[in-house]
């Protein structure tokens, strides 16, 4: 079948092509309800689909944005991406989500691919290891927003949470309950979120006058985390409280504690820094540091949309406070 054109719609509705164009672009200011109905009926009857390629060439926009998530397995990242997509939908933007798997090479390829497809802007959960590429985008004035993670010495819009302060408060909570042997489990300190959380742990312990046992700071990839936790809970003076650096670490901690018969709330206290969708179903008394994922995603999308529309504001960092539940 031949492709239905805007001219076909205009002819069927008995209006001009410019009126159809105004309708498709939702410019209804000077359009009667009757005209709108006629165009709607013609579009439906003919099965008309707008030519987005032609529209993007005319408007010099693709109405598409890219979201490059560091690791889609984190529920927090999924929540943020959903909120971004919701805002994009409101602005008639299409979001393309890519998973970098915490791999800087995959991140680089996705950035290059999305820019080659001429997406209007990017929201990135940065690996922090492609600084030359980040700097290039920023120097060109390309719309970009960083989420969740910071990259030092870059003037870029970023949306983050108060990792250090929230962790500090959680360790204070442990100390107030009488804990002195407090462990911390985290993935390798290659990104700002993990570094800041460890800094919060160290500072809270120091301010409480507590020594940090090197054995209590477990830094490992997820693939090696269980082995390291087994070692931690096998030492003679094992910890009485543990802080899990994110949701994936939390699952490893839970498996280890369960296997060893260590009871949360009786033998061990646990705090997790991350959004866990099933937290309310757990019977164990676990505390969670919950990040405002939806609010962070919305702000990131709004910041990107403002850049796309050339609303002049200086890049800055937006810090959203988390809360312990």
64-89: pLDDT as tens digits = 999 999 998 888 999 999 999 999 98
Fold entry, domain 163-290: Rossmann fold (3.40.50)
pLDDT of residue 7: 85
Question: Do 62-155+293-324 and 163-290 have matching folds?
Answer: yes
Q: Which two tokens stand for residue 187?
A: 């993935």
Q: Please state, rounded to an integer, the average pLDDT across all residues of the chain.
A: 90
User: Any idea where the domains of the chain sit in the sequence?
Assistant: 6-50, 62-155+293-324, 163-290
Sequence-separated (6 or more) residues with CB below 8 Å from residue 236: none
Which run of H or of E encompasses 269? strand 269-273
- Residue among 124, 131, 175, 127 at smallest CA distance from 154: 131
Return d(Cα 256, Cα 259) in angstroms, integer: 5
- According to CATH, what is the number of the domain 62-155+293-324? 3.40.50.2300
The model's confidence at residue 58, banded by pLDDT at 50, 70 and 90, is low
The arithmetic mean of pLDDT across residues 21-37, rounded, is 83
Tell me which of 173 and 63 has the higher pLDDT.
Answer: 173
Q: Cβ distance 100 to 67 under 8 Å?
A: no
Cα dihedral sign, 207-211-213-214? positive
The model's confidence at residue 57, banded by pLDDT at 50, 70 and 90, is very low
Return d(Cα 189, Cα 193) in angstroms, integer: 8
Give the pTM: 0.79
Q: Which two tokens stand for residue 324?
A: 């312990």
């Amino acid at each position: 079948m031949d492709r239905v054109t805007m001219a076909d719609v205009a002819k069927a509705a008995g209006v001009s092509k410019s009126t159809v164009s105004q309708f498709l672009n939702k410019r209804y200011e000077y359009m009667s309800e009757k005209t709108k109905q006629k165009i709607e009926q013609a579009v439906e009857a003919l099965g008309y689909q707008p030519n987005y390629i032609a529209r993007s060439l005319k408007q010099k926009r693709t109405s598409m944005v890219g979201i490059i998530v560091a690791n889609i397995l984190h529920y927090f990242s999924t929540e943020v991406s959903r909120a971004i997509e919701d805002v994009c939908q409101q602005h008639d933007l299409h979001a393309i989500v890519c998973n970098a798997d915490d791999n800087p090479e995959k991140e680089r390829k996705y950035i290059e691919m999305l820019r080659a497809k001429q997406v209007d802007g990017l929201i990135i959960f940065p690996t922090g290891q492609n600084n030359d590429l980040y700097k290039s985008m920023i120097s060109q004035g390309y719309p970009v927003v960083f989420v969740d993670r910071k990259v030092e010495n870059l003037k870029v819009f970023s949306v983050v949470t108060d990792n250090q302060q929230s962790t500090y408060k959680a360790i204070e909570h442990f100390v107030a309950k009488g804990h002195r042997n407090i462990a911390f489990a985290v993935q390798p300190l290659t990104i700002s979120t993990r570094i800041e959380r460890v800094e919060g742990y160290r500072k809270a312990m120091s301010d409480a006058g507590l020594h940090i046992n090197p054995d209590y700071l477990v830094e490992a990839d997820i693939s090696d985390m269980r082995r390291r936790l087994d070692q931690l809970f096998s030492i003679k003076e094992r910890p009485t409280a543990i802080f899990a650096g994110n949701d994936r670490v939390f699952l490893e901690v839970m498996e280890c504690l369960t296997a060893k018969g260590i009871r949360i709330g009786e033998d061990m206290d646990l705090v997790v820094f991350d959004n866990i969708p099933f937290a309310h179903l757990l019977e164990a008394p676990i505390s969670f540091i919950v990040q405002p994922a939806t609010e962070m995603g919305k702000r990131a999308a709004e910041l990107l949309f403002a850049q796309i529309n050339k609303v002049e504001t200086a890049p800055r960092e937006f810090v959203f406070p988390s809360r312990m539940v």
